[in-house]
Structure formats: structure tokens, C-alpha cells
Amino acid sequence: MIAAAPQPSLDNSLERRLFTRRSDLTEAIRLTIANTALNAILNRRWGAITDISKAYGISRTFVYSLANELKQLGQFLFKDKTNDPQALTRERKRSIEMMLSIRLEGCSSIGHVSTVMKRQACDLSSIGSISQTLSRIGGILPMTIDAQQTLQYLVFASDEIFSKTTPVLVTVDPCSSAILRIELSETRHADDWKNHFECLMDNGMEAIYLVSDDGIGLRAGHGAALSHTVRQSDTYHAVAHTLGSWVERFEKTAYKAIKERV
């Protein structure tokens, strides 16, 4: 049985440190960096964050994180004491919800997400904070949807995409566009696809139909794990491969005729 690994909670993951602590960056230096960066952000001094990162040999993301931590501390220290003590947590939650909505539903770049969030006076609106938050949330999401102990009968649409040269195996539900499972894989052989499909079944999803291209590994994995399920070539590849075979045949005929004429 191949089950999805238990995932840490969102709250715990958002609090984890992302950076390796450098002994030469003392607390005083970090406070100086945070103060300088926050001052630059609040006064819209473009290029200042880059200058700070170069001066101290640190990433822009780290500079933004220090500035954001100082900003949050200041908001906590100087906020109106009559406010609800849970207000900061609610504001953080609202900011994350806004961030995810703009990013996923609006299909916006991180820069555009930052622009919209700043207009709405949201926390975590800097590019660095958005990048960190999205990375942390992405890191704790499971690779496979959990059917929550209810067997789901679905159409599987499976294919490989690539992150540079590394294959990413993906299966989606074509009706809802929900990603059922996505995983980085060193190869895309039959065993990789077999394990991919078995993990889906172990998490409560049963294929009633499989749509895919004619990749050798994918088809072999289908035969090993889903031999009882009908597989159909997707329309694009079915047409493209058919046209490709015609093109190859016509090219051979044409070149043969040209050669005979010469």
C-alpha cells in the first residue's frame, strides 16, 4: 500500500525558519538590516533592498523577511490596546486568503499579487513575503488528493510535464480540473507510472477511464496498474500522431519521386 505521507500543519510550517543562520550576522546587524529595509519599503525607495542584499551578501528574500518581522513586531507593540488580541492573526489569515485567491484564481504573477495586496493594505504584501508564503504552503500540500475514506470513481487524464529536464507525473480530473496527484520523478518509466496510479487507488480514487498520450512508460504503467480500465489516446496526440505518420509517408513518396526524376 502506498499512502500519502502525513503532512505538517499550516501554522507550524509557516513558522519554520527558511534560512541557514550565519554567525557573522549578529542580532545587532540583523536589526540594522531590518530597520533600513523597512524604512526603504515604507518610503518607497526603489533599489534599496538590492543595495542592502549586496552590501551584506544576503538574498533579497531574506532582507524582506527581516523587514516583515520588524514590521509585525512594531504593529504588535504599537497597536491600539483596545483592539481584539486576535486581530493580527485574523489580518494575517485574510492576507493569505487574498494572496492565494489572486495567485490561483486570478492567475497573476507574484509581482501583480503584491501590487493588488498593497492597494488593499494587506499584510505580507511584499514580493519576498508572498514568495516565502506560497513556497511554504506549496511545501506542505500533499502530492495526492485524499478522498477522505470515500471511494471516488473518476476519469484519469495523465501526462508528463517537465521542470527543466526533470519529469513531473500528473493526473487530473478533466471534469473539475482538480489535480489528483502530482510528483517529481527521476524517470517516467513503467514502474514510475505504476506507483503513481497505485497511490491514487490507495487514497480512494478509482479510474473508470484513462485518457493519455501514447508514451511508452505511461502505457506500460497503465497495463500494470490499471489493466481493467479502458485507455483512450487524447484527441490532440491521436490526431497529431496520425498526421505525423501521414506526413512521413508522403515525404518518403515525394523524395522518392524527386530522386527518380533526377
* pLDDT, position 181: 92
User: Residue 1: what pLDDT?
Assistant: 44
Enter the C-alpha cell of residue 261.
526524376
Question: CATH 3.30.420.10: which residues of the chain?
Answer: 152-241
- pTM for the full predicted model: 0.51
At residue 219, the pLDDT reads 93
Residue of 236, 249, 89 lying closest to 159 (CA atoms): 236
Helical spans, DSSP H, in the chain: 10-14, 27-42, 48-56, 60-78, 87-100, 110-119, 127-140, 190-202, 216-225, 235-261
Domain covering 152-241: architecture: 2-Layer Sandwich (3.30)
User: In this predicted structure, what is the pLDDT of residue 207?
Assistant: 92
pLDDT given for residue 212 in this prediction: 92
Residue 143, burial from CB neighbour count under 10 angstroms (0-12, 13-18, 19+): middle
d(CA 53, CA 60): 6
Grid cell of 243 as nine digits: 498526421
The pLDDT value given to residue 156: 94
Query: What whole-number distance in Å separates Cα of residue 154 and Cα of residue 180?
Result: 10
- The answer to whether the beta carbons of residues 48 and 61 sit under 8 Å apart is no
pLDDT of amino acid 261: 79
pLDDT at 78: 73
> Which pLDDT belongs to residue 194?
95
Which pLDDT belongs to residue 211?
A: 92
- What is the reported pLDDT for 262? 67
CA 105-171-210 angle, 5° bins: 125
Residues in the chain with pLDDT < 50?
A: 1-5, 82
| The predicted structure's pLDDT at residue 177 | 83
pLDDT at residue 148 in the model: 62
Q: Please give the pLDDT value at position 71.
A: 86
Residue 167 has a pLDDT of 93
